[in-house]
Amino acid sequence: MSSRETLRQTLIDLLEQEMGESYPSLTDDQDLRESLKLDSVDVVGLVMRIEREYHVRLAPEELATIKTVGDLLDLMQPKIAARPASIPPSSIGEDVPHHVARDQQEEA
């Protein structure tokens, strides 16, 4: 499975946990608000969960550009690829604060 498809599956898993609904598949052109019925708070919460999962950050300006599933994947993919190899993805649902991940990296 490609890294984009892995990220897409993580997005599906997180959406299902957050929204309590089933999302059998997501396509790049699906609008987060229109197709998936997410409001701005849902989108921010979803992005925060992805940031925690992969130990990356999106700037507020980047967050404002996210309209579709593809937009979110396009923004997250290079950030995930650029993170240090010593920081593995978390298990879904596990909250690892960024400062803990950073501290663990500095200890290595």
Per-residue b or e along 41-67, where b marks 16 or more CB atoms closer than 10 Å to that residue's CB: ebbeebbebbebbbbbebeeeeeeebe
Sequence ranges of the domains in the chain: 3-107
pLDDT value at position 83? 79
In this predicted model, what pLDDT tens digit does every residue of 47-63 receive, in sequence order? 999 889 888 998 989 98
Fold observed for domain 3-107: 1.10.1200
State the alpha helices, DSSP H only, in 20-97: 40-54, 60-63, 69-82
Name the pTM for this structure: 0.74
> Which residues touch 96 (CB under 8 Å, ≥6 apart)?
52, 55, 90
